[in-house]
Chain A
Amino acid sequence: MKKLILILLIFLSLNLQAQEPTLPGAENTKVEMADTMRQEGKIYVVVAVVVAILSGLLIYTVVIDRKVARLEKKLEE
């Protein structure tokens, strides 16, 4: 568990930078992005929806995993 948190924190620390690297062709204010969605906080709705979908699928997978484990145990006897 501690290793996991450490790995996660290391990944997050990669975000710290002194200067933002700019890519060729990146006119920062002229490219249309979903800034409005982010300003109004709507991006969190998108995140919530996708997390909900993923959670549903993962819970389903876990349920199946448990079912298979139970069958395997039963067969051991």
Chain B
Amino acid sequence: MEKLLKKRWWKIVTVVLLVYTILGGFLFDVPRLHILNEGIRNTHFHVPMWFAMITVMLVSVIYSIRYLLSNEMKHDFYAVEFANAGILFGILGLVTGMIWANYTWGAAWSGDAKQNNTAIALLIYLAYLVLRNSLNDQGRRARISAIYNIFAFAALIPLLYILPRMTGSSLHPGSGGNSTFGDIDLDNRLRMVFYPAILGWTLLGIWLASLRVRLRLVEHRKEELDLQ
């Protein structure tokens, strides 16, 4: 994995995809819908934040499980740094959503099911960081936070993807009685930028997480060398 993270090619792909996302996102034609107006272009920026977040959180919990099985510190580094990236994208997603909602739904916060549950999910992950901070022994910190991480990720699924769809009323496409995301708010012109955007933003999240992981690994190795 470390070898793959150091490679250059997928980082170039990231840059190309993100530049394409911005150029296409602003310059391509979009459906002309009332209320959304030009804001529909936010689809390429707000929504991919969540794809990136869930991808990166999934990687984090996988490494948490791997740590529990192997007890190797490096797995803990991956778990925490990918969780950090996930929290960053979660916050960005929430804030961009609030900005968008302010002009489209009339208020930055509407108590929409997905909005509320996302805030809860983020709090759960922030508690993961607090938990880590409260444990001084490396091994205990890694083990206990790994177990917490599993529960935190497990909570994401019902919170973000099941409960909002079951609720009576929601403002989000796809949730609470509204037609699906791909139905009215997305067409092939948007999809041309949207899909590459998802990939681009996700790769960026992985890139940022990988840098922090590599940094931790370097520090860890330096410590081990100093102790010898």
Chain A residues packing against B (C-beta within 8 Å):
4, 8, 11, 14-15, 17, 21, 23-28, 31-34, 43, 46-47, 50-51, 54, 58, 61-62, 64-65, 68-69, 71-72, 75
Chain A: CB-nearest residue to B214: A68
Q: Is B23 an interface residue (CB 8 A)?
A: yes
Interface string of B57-83 (1 = CB under 8 A from A): 000000000000000000000000000
Q: Is B107 an interface residue (CB 8 A)?
A: no
Cβ B32 vs Cβ A31 within 8 A: yes
Partner of A21 from B13, B34, B187, B192 at Cβ < 8 Å = B187
Cβ B32 vs Cβ A4 within 8 A: no
Cβ B215 vs Cβ A68 within 8 A: yes
Main secondary structure of the interface of A (DSSP, over half): helix
A62 to B13, CA, bound (A): 13
Chain B residues packing against A (C-beta within 8 Å):
6, 11-13, 15-16, 18-20, 22-23, 26-28, 30-34, 37-38, 184, 187-189, 192, 196, 207-208, 211, 214-215, 217-218, 221-222, 225
A51 to B18, CA, bound (A): 9
Chain B: CB-nearest residue to A37: B38
Task: List, in ascending order, chain B residues with CB within 8 A of A50's CB.
Answer: 22, 26
A28 to B31, CA, bound (A): 8
Partner of A54 from B18, B188, B189, B215 at Cβ < 8 Å = B18
Cβ B32 vs Cβ A26 within 8 A: yes
Main secondary structure of the interface of B (DSSP, over half): helix
Task: List, in ascending order, chain A residues with CB within 8 A of B225's CB.
Answer: 75
Chain B: CB-nearest residue to A23: B31
Cβ A4 vs Cβ B16 within 8 A: yes
* Known contacts A14-B192, A65-B211, A68-B218; A4 and B13 CB within 8 A of each other: yes
Cβ A69 vs Cβ B6 within 8 A: yes
* Known contacts A21-B188, A68-B218, A75-B222; A33 and B22 CB within 8 A of each other: no
Cβ B37 vs Cβ A72 within 8 A: no
A8 to B192, CA, bound (A): 11
A24 to B34, CA, bound (A): 11
Q: Which of B15, B38, B196, B208 has the most CB of A within 10 A?
A: B38
Q: Which of B20, B26, B192, B217 has the most CB of A within 10 A?
A: B26
Cβ A27 vs Cβ B188 within 8 A: no
Partner of A25 from B13, B15, B30, B33 at Cβ < 8 Å = B33
* Known contacts A33-B38, A68-B215; A47 and B32 CB within 8 A of each other: no
A54 to B16, CA, bound (A): 11
* 15 cross-chain CB contacts under 8 A: A8-B16, A17-B188, A21-B187, A21-B189, A23-B31, A23-B33, A23-B187, A26-B32, A26-B33, A43-B26, A47-B26, A71-B215, A71-B218, A75-B218, A75-B225
Smallest beta-carbon distance A25→chain B, Å? 6
